[in-house]
Amino acid sequence: MTSNALKIGFIGLGTMGSPMAEHLIKAGHQLYVYTLGKMPEAIATSSATQCITSKGVAERADIIFVMVPDTPDVEAALFGEHGIAAGLSAGKVVVDMSSISPIATKVFAKKINDLGCDYLDAPVSGGEVGAKNATLSIMVGGSEAVFEKIKPLFELMGKNITLVGGNGDGQTAKVANQIIVALNIEAVAEALLFASRAGADPARVRLALMGGFASSKILEVHGERMVKRTFDPGFRIELHQKDLNLALSSARALGVSLPNTATAQELFNSCVAHGGRAWDHSAMVRALEKLANFEIGQKAD
């Protein structure tokens, strides 16, 4: 523990949260941790102090990070029995890095502010690889002063760190990100399926497209997954479904039509119906393959 070490809480040590917490520990900070699932070995054998409730984390830490799956999980972590709110004292900071409802986030932030504490919503993009490599994109909502205070900690976990606006705006940016990612996966899947069904080598088509205007991170990473049939997550379809549900419900409340987002969600729904809840989201291509009765890489007639 260094002389500049901070007392940091981390709640939610799953696929994303565990490596994110590890980066904070390796930087010399004192962590107080809690998770509903099994404690990851890397955390259990580290200098982190394990707490038995979220309240216990909040009592000990000055800055508390939350990284859990969905809006109800954040609400429970914050305001449930033995939750974070019960352990807070004035001046502490709560940073929610989960991907949840922008509307609910504004409500949560106000409740935490009313306790004399600050709140940032800071959802991330980059998946498990980004979490492990500390290259996450972090989209932040909250006050500039609090953002600047927490930014050095964000820099231990990510590279592209942006203050988008006030509370809820970070979550809005993340929803927008997930719309773009889903529609790009759908576009790459259609293109490679078309190329393969037409008799071209999809791997070579992908390489050719990588050099042109169609190039993208999705084509690079998920296009390769589609060609090589490697659909272990990654980022699970069920989590992307959750994010698109946020997009579609928020759009409905705003009176905005998102027709292609709805189509992408239906393709994810089809994957889940075929047992693909835990597939990587690049496996959306499997729904299109079912419609075509043809798989990428299959020998064309």
Choosing from 174, 242, 290, 299, the catalytic residue is 174
**Alpha-carbon torsion (12, 16, 22, 28), positive or negative:** negative
Start-to-end C-alpha separation, the chain: 64
* Cβ count near 295 (within 10 Å): 16
Q: Residue 195 and residue 209: Cα distance in Å, rounded?
A: 11
Distances from the Cα of 154 to the Cαs of 43, 130, 139, in angstroms?
A: 19, 13, 10
For 151, half-sphere exposure in the C-beta direction (CA atoms, 13 angstrom radius) is: 12
The single-letter code of the amino acid at 161 is: I
174 a catalytic residue: yes
Q: Residue 186's Cα: distance from chain center in Å?
A: 19
Q: How far is it, in rounded angstroms, from Cα 56 to Cα 177?
A: 34
Helices (H), the chain: 17-26, 41-44, 54-60, 71-79, 84-87, 102-113, 127-133, 144-154, 169-197, 202-210, 217, 223-228, 237-254, 259-273, 284-292
Q: Which residues are catalytic?
A: 174
